[in-house]
Structure 1
Amino acid sequence: MTNVGYSAQTLRVLVVEDEPYTREELTEFLADTAEVSEILAAESGEAAVRLLGGGAFDAVFLDISMPGLDGMDVARVISMLSTPPAIVFVTASDSHAIEAFGIGAVDYLLKPIRPERLAESVARIARLRRATTEAPPADELAVVQIEHSRRTIFVRRDDIQFAEAHGDYVRLHTADGTHLIRLSLSYLEDVWAPAGFVRVHRGYLVAVGWVHDLRVTSSAGLVACTPAGDVPVSRRHARGLKERLIEAARNGQLGRAAK
């Protein structure tokens, strides 16, 4: 199935689902998204591996529970490809979420599939693909230039402890204060991910190296504590943040405030 209007910025997608109704529904939802140009479908893990060996894909929407090769098996095959596509798991249970993100999944969708939730995944994949194909410099926005009425302020990315969505702007929090910049939080999430910034809430990114502890409060629930202030952590992102903090601690990447 192919959408008209193919361009270099659209996505070639593989759907892997053993249930015919869900496979057809997912294919139809994807066909309605502007970012997707071509969709192939596989009814099993074995069929998916054959298709993956025959051509490149930008994304694979992958059921986990399938007879024979299940979704996790297929994901491990994908991880060995020279240019692996983005993986989005589509499943009826959240019990595999930790393992899925450990494999490197971009997203994890629960059945029944909601079109708006699927559209979020597609948009994220498209952003990641643009960031890769347009090849921004590895140090892009290592220094943020902020224009005021009669002066320009330069803020080092490494001094930014967390970023907060603020309407059409993002508020950057440092030890010396805050600064507003007209960028989207999603863009900063993609560009700054290699520098250790992670999404912890719909409206917040935090620099893992600046987090000195996690705390449960009566007003905000779980928060990540940084010298510049406390950052709310949503339930959806809590486990992922904890895993990143453990990894950073093992690698000696925590404790910037003490250095």
Structure 2
Amino acid sequence: MPFTAVVVDDEPLAREELKFLLSNHPECRITGEAEDAAASLALVKKLAPDVVFMDIEMRGMSGFEAARQMLALPRPPLVVFATAYNEYAVRAFELGAVDYLLKPFEENRLAKTIARIGALKENAGEWASAVEKVAGLLEEKKPRVHKLAVEKSGRIRLLDVNEVIFGRARAGGAQIFADSGIYEYTGTMTELEERLGREGFLRVHKSYLVNLNRVDGVLPWFKGTYWLVMSDREHTQIPVSKNQVRELKNSLGLT
């Protein structure tokens, strides 16, 4: 069955080689390519491909970390890793939940990978199961810590994520509003969203990320929009972007 794919590798020759080999398989339609893991995340969010052929060892963010973030997206792709190091393949993928390609690429091996992807594509349940197993494998490699590193008066503190009420964008980072006070987060709002997205937080506005468990009330506003009343001492009211209303209502069970 046909599927779309994105190729990610920081070596141009490796990308070209894999694209050439994939071109021999008409069921695989390449919709994009990226030269590093960070660029691949933006591309995958934009194109929503079925499969990502991902190098592991890249400058900056590794293929493993990029895959973790991709698999947290609403429509995660199936990830096929490409690596020059056989120990990665043996260590990480013995479960067979995802395929892998060793460099230099072999046409026969690639053909088996394409056939396997096609078989999974024909069965939505098996496809979803394969993606879920990949996410589980990658999650095991990085212990999940329910803490957020923030700063105040030159000191770093690790906040329990349940203590965080909401985050607000500001120049150079974000402010974190928590039960114990207001702190600075030096990363971007996007990085904060990626960090807390699995912890019950929702980006309701380009400038606000809220802990849905710390919402005290919802105020209907004009033209189907809303404001949230948070559980901090000031009962801060936070606007909800119109394009986030549906997700908010689904998350909170609003009719």
Higher-Rg structure is 2
TM-score computed with the length of structure 2 as normaliser: 0.48
TM-score by length of 1: 0.47
